[in-house]
Amino acid sequence: MRIIHRLDEMTETARGWLASGTVGFVPTIGNLHDGHMPLVEAAKRECEISVVCVFASPLHFATEEDYAHYPYDVARDLQQLEAARVDVVFLPHAEDLFPEDFSTYVTPSGLLAERLEAVVIPYSLRSAATTITKLFQLVRPDVVYFKQKDAPQVALVRRLVRDLNIDVTIRVLATAREHDGLAMDSLNHLLSPPERQAAANIYQALLEAKALIEQGELHAARIEEAMRKRLASSAQITVESIDICHPDTFSPVELIEPKTLFLIAARVGSVRLRDTLVWLGDKHWSM
């Protein structure tokens, strides 16, 4: 496993990949868990070269204190990636990617950005767009891998790829889950035992939507009402938003149709969690 820190080394390495086969790329903000491993395994299985980036951008956090307290354990992450036999790990330094005089940002606008700002805070939106664009420039991947539960980021990257003519294929894999359906997340360990038990209701609310659709209910308002009722059964959960929308535009839908996205953003205690499912049509789902 090769570890690259310097931007110029990453650029030079990427130049040499043109004749070596396809490059599969998994961007992460570190604190890796079992939910990341299916992405890594898919990159290794489907591409000749697998690259994982471990980088928590300072732009991703509201304050320097939040950035300093993010559970960032590079040594543990590297152990997991070594065990997974990843080809290259890109570990850029924040001061190199974003020096003090950095002043050029990718700032999404328009209806998609407005909709995404309802489910991700604005500075994260600009951060995600700027960071992923820089990483694409440096790594030059052929395929990039995301989890289904990261639907807002996927929508953003799809728009970036289209608008900026970035030559990369986006692969979205099913969300890895705990035994009770809770989506695996780097923040799950911060939940107290009662909060952890309550958090499983987020997944159950999605299953409530799934069951209603398979029974023939297609009115978004009625399905959302049932989802909120399920979430309200736990006092530990504070719902921030429930979106029933198109996965690429995040435009809300009134009548459910194939490819409709269901997204729940909620706080369980102090931890913000998010989960999604997509109805593909008939009894086919992406979860």
The pLDDT, as a whole number, for residue 174 is: 95
> By the 8 A CB rule, do 119 and 263 touch?
yes
Q: What local confidence, expressed as pLDDT, does residue 19 receive? A: 78
Of 136, 115, 133, residue with least CA distance to 265: 115
Using one digit for the tens of pLDDT, what is the confidence trace for 123-160? 688 888 999 999 999 999 999 999 999 999 999 999 99
Q: Which CATH superfamily is domain 188-286 in?
A: Pantoate-beta-alanine ligase, C-terminal domain (3.30.1300.10)
Intervals of the chain under pLDDT 70 = 59-69, 121-123
Report pLDDT for 65. Answer: 66
The residue annotated as part of the active site, out of 5, 36, 219, 284, is: 36
3-state class of 233 per DSSP? coil
Contact indicator for 244, 269 with CB cutoff of 8 Å: no
Query: Does the annotation mark 33 as catalytic?
Result: no
- Quick one: pLDDT at residue 123? 65
User: What is the CATH code for 2-173?
Assistant: 3.40.50.620
Instruction: State whether the Cα torsion 140-141-146-151 is positive or negative.
Output: positive
Question: What pLDDT, on a 0 to 100 scale, did the predictor assign at position 66?
Answer: 62
C-beta separation of 208 from 227 below 8 A: yes
pLDDT at 20: 85
Please provide residue 119's backbone torsions phi and psi, each rounded to the nearest 5 degrees: -120, -15
- Quick: pLDDT tens for 191-236: 999 999 999 999 999 999 999 999 999 999 999 999 999 999 999 9
pLDDT score recorded for residue 127:
86
* Extents of the domains making up the chain: 2-173, 188-286
Tell the burial category of 182 from Cβ atoms under 10 Å away from its Cβ (0-12, 13-18, 19+).
Answer: buried
